[in-house]
Amino acid sequence: MRFDEMPYQRVEYDHYRADFEKALNELTAANSAKKQIEAAKNIFKLRDTFETMTSLCYIRHTVNTQDAFYSAENDYYDETNPKFEELNHRFYQALNDSPYRAELEKTWGSLLFTNISISLRSFDSKIMEDMAEENRLCTQYQKLIASAQIQFDGKILNLSQLGAYLESADRSIRKDALNKRSAFFRSHQEELDNLYDQLVHVRDRQAKALGFPHYVPLGYLRMTRNSYTRDQVAAFRQLVKTEIVPIANDLRRMQRARLGISTLYFYDEALFYPSGNPKPQGTPEEIFKHGQEMYHALSPETGEFFDFLLKNALFDALGRKGKASGGYCTELPDYKSPFIFANFNGTSDDISTLTHEAGHAFQAYLSKDNFPPEYRSPTLESCEIHSMSMEFFTWPWMDLFFGKEADRYRYMHLCSALLFLPYGCAVDEFQHIVYEHPEMSPKERRQAWLALEEVYLPGTDYDHDGFFSEGGRWQRQSHIYESPFYYIDYCLAQTCALEFWALMQEDRSSAWKRYLKLCKLGGKDTFTGLIKQVGLKTPFDPACLKTVAASAKHFLDQFDQNKLK
């Protein structure tokens, strides 16, 4: 079914609870594992419909945050979601305590029960009010960012659209664009500070109510970290400091020389070439047509998937007034359909976003029939392997989008993958500091960020900008507000994606088969288990990051420099 034909109906909590409790009573009263499984199937079906309706609401709200109807519906779910979670908590408790658990584990596998145990530790009905408040605050942040209407170049732009000017070959335009972005954040700094302060404290209250010393352990549980520890994450960040930061510094020095400037300011960092970055050629419609050609050439599975996406209009890609920032992929289980949300702005990011979100959507498409539903999708760091690796698997077809500038795009893309890792680790370490010290003032948080920049992003020069130079950069990173501790998942996944990239240089066919297997597995294993199943090294192995970093650096060093002028 086409997305615009999918009917939306609010999931009324009282009706849902009645149906849910009926199925739950059948499950707890069942006198065999077989009967419990049948009762559970009814609950899975109810949850699928709930997820479908909430996803429809979220998509239509983020496509136009000024739509009064879907804004009100989104507010309704912000308020009531904890009640729905409480029902699922009771379902998980019943499965966890089942007298037939051994048989259920034999049927469904032990991972489901490992994840159920994690989920049970992260919820209690006594924190439902704070959970609803957290949802409301996240929506306030999203609406604040989406409200940006910035006058620039004779147009009214949102933040995503303004970002295109940060890649202008004209330095004065880049500087003006950053000043406009900075002015928006500076004018809302008090509101941004207050929102984050409230979010930190409401999360801290939840953690302490559940018996944790602070939010960090609860944050890890909510990310379903089921195969590695906080200490391993810290060790990974340390590896990035020693292995990647020096490479990133070299790449920035080379970029400065290439641009022919004495100082690389922050507003210069997005520009890789003095003549301008590669830009996709053609209209958005033509880009999707080229995408269809590309995915048919890549594999039969991707061709079928992308046809399905286009036939059912399962995407919204154009940036416009009132649209939420960023990009995402979500799922509509009742229609066995993924949906891609993006903000095209005429830069190479349009293609990176298309391939990235298509990676998520492709995995969702391949594992849509995995059962139980918990096995359709893995934990988020594994999900990001699907998306970030797809960006590299599509390299051979970049000529379709960039023509003669395709090689310059590939060089820029690989550089960006390496340059991202230190920033991503700074975001993660910042959140550990903040949640371990919830009493920090907004000024102290900005100082903590600046101290991390000295370690992970040394040499970053904001040219005395009044917002960024005072430690405000983190406030434009939505994940810090909306999805605590998510960001390191991108770093772990980027390392795995670089492993796939290195494999492609040796044996592309083998690399693709492994990737396809990973996507089909969905959530049937842990992050480290999935990696092992497809023959990759874990990012927590020091040799892994060293090897992929060396491979990428060698590729960049050997690149024909004449193509980069």
Q: What is the mean pLDDT of residues 268-296?
A: 96
Mean pLDDT throughout 277-306? 97
| Rounded Cα–Cα distance for residues 295 and 299 (Å) | 7
3-state secondary structure of 384: helix
Query: Tens of pLDDT along 337-386?
Result: 999 999 998 999 999 999 999 999 999 999 999 999 999 999 999 999 99
Q: Has residue 565 got a pLDDT over 80?
A: no
Stated as kind and residue range, the H or E segment containing 519 is helix 508-521
CA 315 to chain centre: 17
Tell whether the model's pLDDT for residue 561 goes beyond 90: no
Which DSSP helix (H) or strand (E) runs through 215? helix 215-222
Q: How would residue 564 be classed by pLDDT, with cut points 50, 70 and 90?
A: confident
209 has pLDDT over 80: yes
pLDDT of residue 386: 99
Short-list 376, 366, 318, 299, CA closest to 112 = 376
> pLDDT tens digit string along 433-474?
999 999 999 999 999 999 999 999 999 999 999 999 999 999
| Residue 351 pLDDT | 97
Instruction: Identify the pLDDT of residue 123.
Output: 97
Per residue in 394-422, pLDDT tens? 999 999 999 999 999 999 999 999 999 99
Please give the pLDDT value at position 562: 82
Task: Calculate mean pLDDT across residues 151-168.
Answer: 94
CA distances, 284 to each of 54, 388, 498 (Å): 28, 21, 28
The full set of domain ranges for the chain reads: 3-128
Q: What is the mean pLDDT of the chain?
A: 97
Between CA 317 and CA 331 the distance in angstroms is: 16
Residue 413 CB partners (closer than 8 Å, separation 6+): 348, 352, 391, 392, 395
Q: What are the φ and ψ backbone dihedral angles of 118, each rounded to 5 degrees? A: -65, -45
Q: Looking at the predicted structure, is the pLDDT value of residue 325 above 90?
A: no
Considering only CA atoms, which of 10, 36, 9 is closest in space to residue 23? 36
Percent pLDDT > 90 in the chain is: 97
Q: How far apart are CA 308 and CA 281, in angstroms?
A: 24
pLDDT of residue 228: 98
Q: Quick one: what percent of the chain has pLDDT higher than 70? A: 100
Asked if pLDDT for residue 508 goes beyond 90, the answer is yes
